[in-house]
Structure 1
Amino acid sequence: MGTIKISNIRVYAYHGCLVEEGKIGSDYRIDLSVKANLQPSSKSDHLADTVDYVHLNKIVKEEMAVRTKLLETVASLILDRILLEIPLVKKAKIKVSKLNPPIGGNVEMVSIIMERKR
């Protein structure tokens, strides 16, 4: 078993409960890690034998482009797609952060962390 991590994926998206958030949007940061058997790819040197992080990044970007009210919802959708589309992944963990959230204070970011396994 091994871990593949993608850190600090930056996207601009329109998540949030406030009407303004859907119109103005905000910056988001996503950190993702997946666990999979990396032994076959370490021996074969073939992309088909591992988890393609380009595919992971594509899933994150596509799901972040669909507006939701809650970070929990978009994180869940990303995890669902990873497990559905990439059979090699045994476990996935995601951290979705909204930078400079509109919560009435000097707050750098709010984050949620979720994980799923087969």
Structure 2
Amino acid sequence: MKIEGSYIVLRHVRFQAFHGVMPQEGIVGGDFDVDLRVGYPLERAMESDEVNDTLNYAALYALVKQEMKQPSKLLEHVAGRIVAAIDNTFPLVTSIDLTLTKLNPPMGADCEGAGVEVHWKR
């Protein structure tokens, strides 16, 4: 079997956080959605069935949660911190696809959300 790519994913993880440039966003906060796809060599875990041979998605979630707790004006800044933290914590990561969406943003539009996408590759 030849593996072309393998990934750990977190889909539609919801956070209540205090990111935004409007003063009320720093006071009442808002709801955010995170989608994360992290390239990681899974071949060893596919053979061993051992959590130590993979990127533990609970540890990945804990890292994202920690970064989401830190208020920022810009989602770009939050996304950059998340990508840097993943890169610094998990050296075997080969790529990161991150979508960070502010749900119901205060901009007067009827939309599900607005946000940023980042694709990082080693």
Q: TM-score, normalized by length of structure 2? A: 0.93
Partner of 1:20: 24
Task: Encode CA deviations 1:17-60: one digit per residue, 9 max, x unaligned.
Answer: 11111001000000000011110111111111111101110111
- Choose from 109, 115, 118 the match for 2:119: 115
In structure 1, how many angstroms separate the alpha carbons of the residues matched to 2:109 and 2:119?
Answer: 29
Contact 1:13 1:26 in 2 (8 A): yes
Gaps of 5+ in 2: none
Equivalent AA in structure 2 for residue 56 of structure 1: L
1:55 matched residue in structure 2: 59
Structure 1: segments with no counterpart, 5+ residues: none
Q: Which runs of 4+ in 1 moved over 6 A?
A: none
Provide the secondary structure at the position in 1 that maps to 2:110.
Answer: coil
> Where does residue 94 of structure 2 map in the other structure?
90
Q: How far apart, in 2, do the equivalents of 1:34 and 1:95 lie?
A: 12
Per the TM alignment, residue 117 of structure 1 is displaced from its structure 2 partner at its CA by: 2.0
TM score, norm. by length of structure 1: 0.96
**Alignment-mate amino acid for residue 44 of structure 2:** P
Root-mean-square deviation over aligned CA pairs: 0.9
Higher strand share: 1
